[in-house]
Amino acid sequence: MAGYGLTKPDHLSEALKSELKNLNIESEIINASVSGDTTKGGLNRINWTLEEKANLIILGLGANDMLRGIDPDEVKGNLNQIILKVKAKNIPIILAGFISPESYGKNYKEKFDNIYPSLAKEHNLILMPFLLQDIALNPKLNLGDGKHPNREGVKVMAKNLTPYVVKQLKK
């Protein structure tokens, strides 16, 4: 979500703002993400992030944890703590999930893939099951590294995320 390898106008925050504007929804979107961040880093920064007045938080952390093979229990614990801190401020959350490739093994994949649905259910959150839906493994929508969305991939991500934001706004 930080926009690795992209200029600011091509970041997800800008693409999402544009998608919302197309629906006549004016928004100010603060991109509080950090390139390469993990759930632990997000947990370490959440109190600073919450100093900004927010009406909604899109929590999309965990992909870098998975790429580093961090234990899914640790990832889930970090996300849970972030969610609890955000909920304590009465800020709605959209949980944007990730899935693990099979190359990490069946056990890791099952545990990791269950993190987001179980947290969404436990905390009654709107869940976008896979933030990189239609983008992951599509060379036309990723940078040369095959891991980070390019400009067009970010546009797809924003289009896919918009209905979840609209649903939360209507809650």
Model confidence at 2: pLDDT above 80: no
Domains in the chain: ranges and CATH:
8-170 (3.40.50.1110)
Mean pLDDT of 9-34: 92
Least confident of 3-17, 121-135, 136-150: 3-17
C-alpha closest to that of 70 among 33, 31, 42, 28? 42
Q: Are 40 and 61 in contact (CB under 8 A)?
A: no
168 backbone dihedrals φ, ψ, rounded to 5°: -65, -40
142 backbone dihedrals φ, ψ, rounded to 5°: -130, 155
| pLDDT category of residue 5 using cuts at 50, 70 and 90 | low
Mean pLDDT of 49-66: 93
